[in-house]
Structure 1
């Protein structure tokens, strides 16, 4: 479990939290981030390329789960929209507003929780999700919903994050008020088998990105919505100075490193 500053807290598998409150806070944070998401989310966009390389040649009904401002959804529509239907679903209304403005109404945009999909049984043959399900407190419920809405033989291609993600940030902020607690590959395998996926493949890799200074690091994280804070938490100038000093010790020729421990799941119903 890796520590993070209060304004970049993530909770991945936390039954101790109030899920309704957590969903509201996540939706609010990502809605606020929506206007500047794309300019700051280049690491997330780079990781989305891992999913695009694995897409099947043909799909009829496609869901982008946690679609954000919709660029990946638009690429799915470009590939599959001529002969099928593409849905972009997100918890944050602000993200969906940005998606509609950017990509129009040809895509079916839905505001909903990944653990309670407003979709019929066996209605889709492909679900794609890039860096969204780590925000969901109940992994079993999310994967169960995917088995419900996928047709027999349908596939889910998912990027999510594992322990060790943002480890450098946690090292820099040595006494944060919040904790990062991502689920590992074994947890995802167990959950996927447990809800009935007949084929489960989980690939792991480390994606590392570099930034010029601490401000750029924090903007890249906060700017994509990762800013769900514990109430009342504040950072002093001394806190920032100490974090800067610790992070500078990690600097390479390329800049300050930020690591994402990426899990890519290929699941077949």
Structure 2
């Protein structure tokens, strides 16, 4: 990796951390889609675990749920955004260990966790191979990682409405994820690709749900006029369903294991 790549990744991480830190105070009120997606993998978690990492913990909702479910476990919540961790500490206290850090360079020793939980976080990591390698390193033999991440096609309706697909997150495709996992040495016990669709009453509600959880990074030198907004509303209205304006999340749910 050359210096230019390192600097580019550092800049990207700083932008992501800033966007999510800004979103932290209102994250939980607007994260209903993210929470419903996380619920999909809750029932697949193992019966017992003793050292657990919530990787990309945000404001700590799932971290706290893990602490309740595994009452005898040591729980760690890790996030790149300091603002998210501030909210987590305020809401859930110091019984949980809150750690700032990068999923591609986890600040923990080898064999530190027997369970890693990560809901809609790794799509923000540019080096997916490094993330999978770090998961392999920090898991104990027989340890599991339960992950949801996003695939291409996510927020496609917003791309249509604004006609600016380059402004949206461009996650890796499923084949790229599978290659990264295979290279890491992790075993895929289960993987499921689904499309989760959520509905909103109007464009304002749609954009609040996205911006409110930090999921759109600001584009420099962009100034939207009233005409731009009206045109976006008109294009989005063409997609309206009886339930409302649709927003699609193309999700990949993974259950991974480090072999004994």
Q: Does 1:148 align with 2:137?
A: yes
Higher relative contact order (CA 8 A, sep 6+): 1
Aligned to 2:33: 43
2:118 aligns with one of 129, 133, 147: 129
CA contact (8 A) 1:116 1:142 kept: yes
- Select the residue among 71, 75, 81 that pairs with 1:92: 81
Other-structure match for 1:34? 24
TM-score (norm 1): 0.91
Q: What SS does the aligned partner of 2:88 have?
A: helix
Secondary structure at the counterpart of residue 246 of structure 2: strand
SS at match of 2:172: coil
Q: Distance in 2 between matches of 1:113 and 1:141?
A: 10
Asked if structure 2 preserves the Cα contact closer than 8 Å seen for 1:189 and 1:202, the reply is no
Unaligned runs of 5+ in 1: 1-14
1:244 and 2:233 correspond = yes
The CA distance in 2 between the partners of 1:202 and 1:187, in whole Å, is: 14
The correspondence of residues 161-200 of structure 1 with structure 2, limited to 5 A, is 161-175=150-164, 178-200=167-189
CA separation in 1, counterparts of 2:184 and 2:69?
A: 29
Shift of 1:237: 1.2
Q: 1 CA distance for matches of 2:166 and 2:56?
A: 27
Instruction: Tell me how far apart the structure 1 counterparts of residues 25 and 164 of structure 2 sit (CA, whole Å).
Output: 31
Are the equivalent residues in 1 in contact too, given 2:115–2:144 (CA < 8 A)? yes
Structure-2-length-normalised TM-score: 0.94
Does residue 23 in structure 1 map to residue 13 in structure 2?
Answer: yes
In 2, the alpha carbon distance for the partners of 1:27 and 1:83 equals: 31
Partner of 1:206: 195
Q: How much has 1:231 moved relative to structure 2?
A: 1.8
Distance 2:76 2:241 in 1: 41
Q: How far apart are 1:175 and its partner, in Å? A: 4.0
How far off is 1:177 after superposition?
A: 5.6
1:7-22 to structure 2, matched below 5 A, reads 18-22=8-12
Deviation, 1:179, is 4.5
SS in 2 for 1:260: strand
